[in-house]
Structure 1
C-alpha cells in the first residue's frame, strides 16, 4: 500500500495555474518527448491526422493549441516532440474539469489533461511542466522576492494532511520545493502564478491577492519585463500566461543538455 501511495504522489499532475527544476525531476532522454494525441482531443480539431502534422491549418481547438504549444517550446529550446505510441509517451487528452500535467520524464504515466475551452497560455504552461519546470513561486528563495498574504501562510502551516479542496490545492501549488537547477528568480516566468487567484476559491475573497512583491521582487520584475515589450499589455506583468520567458527557455535547454 505504501508503494502504491508513493507512485500516486509522483504521478499526480500539477494544476495549471521558472526557470527552475525541482529535485527528483528527470529530463527527457535525448531531449526528445514522445507524445500521443488521443482520439477525443483530435476530434476537437476536426482532423483525420493522428498527430500534429498540419496543425497550423486546423481550426482553433484544444488539439490545435496543444500542437502549437509543443511547436513553441521546440523553437525556443530545441527539445523535440515526436509522435510515438508507448508507455513512456505523453498522453495528451481532454479533461472536462482540469488542465494539468505531470512534471518531467517518467517511465510511465506522462500526461497532459486539457479542458475543452482552455486558453493557449494555460496549455503552454502545462507543457513547461512536461519539460521539467516547476512553479517559479515554489522556489525556496521566493521569500526574497514576494511575501504571501497571512491567510495563505496560515494554510501552509495548518493544512497538513487535510483533505478539504483548499488544503489539497495549497499542498499542491504553494509549498516551497528544493531545486536541482535554476536561473535567477524570474517574475516574468510562464510558470509563475498571478497574485490574483480568486477563481481558485470564489467563495473566499482573500484569494483576490495571495502575495505582494518585495522591493527586490519589484526590481526583478522591472528588469525582466522589457523582453515582452512587443506583446499586449496583459502580458507585461508577473504571472503572465502569454509567452515562454528567456529564463524558462534557458532552464529547459540546460536541463536537457542543449545549452
Structure 2
C-alpha cells in the first residue's frame, strides 16, 4: 500500500465528508470507490451537511488528481475525468502517497526514465526518503497507490515500469484484501491510540496523587478486521 508521509494532515476520526455531485459524468464510478473504501477500511466517507472541511468532485479535462495529499482544510478538490483510478485519488485524500515513490522501489521495479513524459516526471522520479515515512510496510506492487506499467509514459510507450518479481497485475484497481485495507486500518488505529494516549497522559492525576491508582485505560476493537475502534478511560 502507499505509505503515509510525516506531517500529512489526517481527517479526524477517519471521517471524510464529501459533497455529492450526481451531475458528474463518472459519479457512479466515484461512488463505487467510496463504497469500497467504506466497506474495507476504518475510513468513512459521509455525505456533507455543514462541515467546513469536505471533499468535492470535479471533471475538468486535466486528468485524475487530488488537490493535496491528506486533508487540505476547507473545500478539497478531487478531479476525476477518466473512468479509472477513482480509488487511487481517494487514497491521496486520506493521506497515502504513491507506493512507487518509496525509497526502496528500485529493489522491486525498474523505472525507464527515457520513456516518461515530462509532465509526469515528478509523480514517478521523485523518491520519498525513508526518514520521511510515518508508517512503512512491505513494498506492494499490487497496491492501488502504485502506478501501472504505462502510466505517465510519453506517446503510450510500453515498459516504463517493469516488475522484477511480478510482470502482471501491477496496481490492481481495487483494495487488496490481503494488504491494502489491513495496513490502512492498522495505521489509523495506531495514530488514534497515540493521540488519545497523549490526551490521557495530560488528564491523569500526578504520579504522587492518591487518586492515580484508580485509573486504567483500554482499547476496544469491535470486530476482527478493525472496522471500528474506540478507547476508554475508567475509574
Q: What TM-score do the two structures reach when normalised by structure 2?
A: 0.69
- Please, which of 53, 65, 85 is the counterpart of residue 88 of structure 1? 53
- Please, which of 132, 138, 145 is the counterpart of residue 108 of structure 2? 145
- RMSD, aligned CA: 2.4
Unaligned runs of 5+ residues in structure 2 are 191-225, 227-235
Greater relative contact order (Cα 8 A, min sep 6): structure 1 or 2? 1
Residues 83 and 197 (structure 1), Cα distance of their counterparts in 2 relative to 1, 3 Å cut = closer
SS at match of 1:180: strand
Match of 2:22 in 1: 42
CA distance in 2 between counterparts of 1:73 and 1:208 reads 30
- Please, which of 6, 10, 14 is the counterpart of residue 31 of structure 1? 14
Q: What TM-score do the two structures reach when normalised by structure 1?
A: 0.63
CA contact (8 A) 2:2 2:146 kept: no
CA distance in 2 between counterparts of 1:21 and 1:169 reads 21
CA contact (8 A) 2:101 2:123 kept: no
Write out the 4+ residue segments of structure 1 that deviate beyond 3 Å after TM superposition.
none
Structure number with larger C-alpha Rg: 2
- Please, which of 127, 151, 154 is the counterpart of residue 201 of structure 1? 154
Instruction: Say if 2:217 is the partner of 1:252.
Output: no
The Cα of 1:109 is off from its aligned counterpart by: 4.6
CA distance in 2 between counterparts of 1:253 and 1:23 reads 17
Q: Hey, which of these two has a bigger chunk of helix by percent?
A: 1
Q: Hey, which of these two has a bigger chunk of strand by percent?
A: 2
- Please, which of 111, 132, 139 is the counterpart of residue 95 of structure 2? 132
Unaligned runs of 5+ residues in structure 1 are 1-17, 45-60, 156-165, 223-235
Equivalent positions of 1:72-111 (< 5 A) are: 72-84=36-48, 85-101=50-66, 102-111=68-77
SS at match of 1:189: coil
CA distance in 2 between counterparts of 1:24 and 1:100 reads 20
